Amino acid sequence: MESPAHPTATEQRGVTVAIDGPAGSGKSTIARRIAETTGGGFLDTGAMYRAVAWDCLDRGVDLEDLDAVAEAARGLDLDLGTDPDGATVAVRGTDITAAIRTPEISSRVSAVATNTAVRPVLQQRQREILRATADARGLCAAEGRDITTVVAPDADVRVLLTASDEARMARRAAELGLDDSEASKAQMRDQVLRRDRDDSAVSEFLTAAEGVTPIDTTALGIDEVLERVLALVDAAHARNAAEAAGQDEDDEGPEVITTAGPGADAPSDEEIAGAWRAGLEDYALEDEDLALLEDEDADLPVAPAARNLPVLAVVGRPNVGKSTLVNRILGRREAVVEDTPGVTRDRVFYEAEWAGRDFWLVDTGGWEDKVQGISYRVAEQAEVAIELADAVLFVVDANVGITTTDEQLLKVLRRSDRPVILTANKVDDERGELEAAALWNLGLGEPHPVSAIHGRGSGDLLDAVLEALPEEGRGAAPDSGPRRVALLGRPNVGKSSLLNRLAGGVRVVVDDEAGTTRDPVDEKIELGGQTWTFVDTAGIRRRVLQSQGADFYASLRTRSALDRAEVAVVLLEASEPISTQDLKIIDMVLESGRALVLAFNKWDLIDEDRRRQLEWEIEKDLAHVAWAPRVNISAKTGRHAEKLVPALRTALDSWDTRVPTARLNAFLGAIVAAHPHPLRGGKQSRILFATQARTRPPRIVIFASGFLEHGYRRFIERRLREDFGFAGSPIEIGVRIREKRFS
């Protein structure tokens, strides 16, 4: 096959080619052939991770020391060849091309690949090599399962190669020299198909992302596939040539100041931004645009001061209607209510208001004396809530009367020396009021008859509550001052265990039964010299189990807790495959706009094989949140729990980050000059100006003369992260299309 004629790198920027595909689809072969045919370069991205592993082992760096490995990656003296006929790899001048393919490196490289501090460093170097090689040789081709979506989402040519299972197994068997026996087929099925199917169970692995060209290679020969990809390469060269020649004269935009003339000082960020801002005067702006531009560098909002409110604890034996009464007082459904006794298992704080006064309302699990198992721990926590309270609302069932359990709880209340408001619940008529009057014998004063379901008597009860509560509380209730952290994850993933470990004691009910936490529980904890408010949330079950009962309402409360939080720690179980439900929880965080930290729990339980598998799962399924800090912990033993605080601070700092308008526009000017928006139909959308509209999370508003393709927006986001960090925070990019004014 003859090499197609391509413009040289000195005439225009080179073409970057990214090829994805499952094992046996032909991606490595095609990438090398593209480079050979065009005289371009070939980038082996996997060799870089192996090189870091070799370097660390050679210098005695512990691969489990994440910070040390990341530092080694940043300072790696690497010479990576891009010749498709025989790319070499050298570190510190030593040729390690063969050494990095040894079993020792193959078995240890996963520790490097799973280090989230290493990945951005190497991915950035891969992008630089890809771009530099393309410009120097006219083209550079790279292959890998995530090359089109993570490493090079802005590549000129992005291709997903697919093939049938049978075709891929046959190709791999031929490559390894295996025969046609059943044993060989079984080996290929395990090697080629099992991993792909495990991955595709939680992601659309075989579906081309937006802007990626799919090619089914099942019935195609190598030359046929090569011809199709080369056609895409030719089209990319044509686009680059058109961009180098200049855009359509009818689509002029403001002048982009990027470099100074000979002998002149380089323009400042303010001068560049000023030129862009002046160009906006030629475009029709709306009132909201002008308001945004006038407020472009406003101060960040300040969190309100904490209030020291009094605390009212609601206690009683199981199923007397405490949570229903709490919901009645709050005027909304907050506490989980169900016919099953003991559904409320942990003490839970809510902010309530009556007659202009605010106070904290604490709902507790049902109290029983001489109980075992989880019920014993619930009763113990009810006693703790009583000690924290400024007054206690003692709820009894008027229809049942005083039981032995009520009498035991009454002894606890008398020992606490707290004001007690006796409440006779389930009083729906006057006859019930007469029965409630018998409770005078308890010696707690007037019993207050109420119907929590219908609201009967609730106003009089709250008047009595305000008389018993002091104006200010003891300061034990959570406040709005500390940064708020939501702990999220599937049931039984270890959220409550982690909270208890951080708090230094049993704060949340922990049991082998999945889903023992049903309501969000707030806890102020001192960590790293700073106070944090942690919210342990109900585990989010699969949708099929959410249709009714306590778990359904607990899931809704989890969403509400996330809305009240600033940063979410999503716990995933390292010993189990990343599930669809894990991804949905992460998506919930992204939709909420909260900062994000990923914590892989039970890290002490996994072996090297599981680590390698987890590495692949993270690569494919969590690529969209590669920017999130990651910690590998054991909530049970406390292993690496201290690394959670730096990750939280990093995420929150990014969440609060504001990029000055001048610096933002200078940044955009530089990347637009180097990588302008692609031409479409002879027209080219131009970025006119940009400003950051808000923080928490950062939202960038771009004014443009036309639609910016999603791939180009992702490119801008990636470059924003490279230049400004934003680790742990989502970034929102909005585009406002504005047309020129008519003369």
Question: d(Cα 738, Cα 743) in Å, to the nearest integer?
Answer: 15
**Angle formed by the axes of helices 103-113 and 46-59, to 10°?**
100
Report CA 270 to chain centroid distance, whole Å: 34
Question: d(Cα 79, Cα 93) in Å, to the nearest integer?
Answer: 8
Report CA 584 to chain centroid distance, whole Å: 10
In contact, 367 and 409? CB cutoff 8 Å:
yes
* Closest CA relative to residue 313, chosen from 344, 338, 337: 344
Question: d(Cα 272, Cα 256) in Å, to the nearest integer?
Answer: 7
Residue 404 burial (CB < 10 Å; 0-12/13-18/19+)? exposed
Question: d(Cα 132, Cα 138) in Å, to the nearest integer?
Answer: 10
Query: What distance, in Å, lies between the first and last C-alpha atoms of the chain?
Result: 55
- Binding-site members for GTP are 316-323, 363-367, 425-428, 489-496, 536-540, 601-604
Question: d(Cα 9, Cα 6) in Å, to the nearest integer?
Answer: 9
- Please give the C-alpha separations between residue 336 and each of 367, 388, 520, in angstroms, as whole numbers: 16, 22, 10
* Closest CA relative to residue 71, chosen from 108, 121, 106, 125: 121
| DSSP type of residue 654 | H
- Binding-site members are 21-29, 316-323, 363-367, 425-428, 489-496, 536-540, 601-604
Cis peptide before 301 (omega within 30 of 0): no
Residues listed for the chain:
743
* Closest CA relative to residue 582, chosen from 634, 549, 622, 610: 622
Mind giving me the DSSP string for 302-354? -PPPP----EEEEE-STTSSHHHHHHHHHTS--S---SSTT---S-EEEEEEE
For residue 319, what are its two tokens?
A: 């199923």
- Which residue's structure tokens are 């029983």? 368
- Binding-site members for ATP are 21-29
- Please give the C-alpha separations between residue 509 and each of 446, 497, 691, in angstroms, as whole numbers: 34, 9, 47
Angle at 508 between CA 303 and CA 345, to 5 degrees: 105
How does 682-700 read in b/e, with b if 16+ C-beta sit within 10 Å?
eebbbbbbbbbebbbbbbb
- Which residue's structure tokens are 């008519």? 742
The neighbour count for residue 538, using CB atoms within 10 Å, is 26
| DSSP type of residue 456 | B
| DSSP type of residue 151 | I
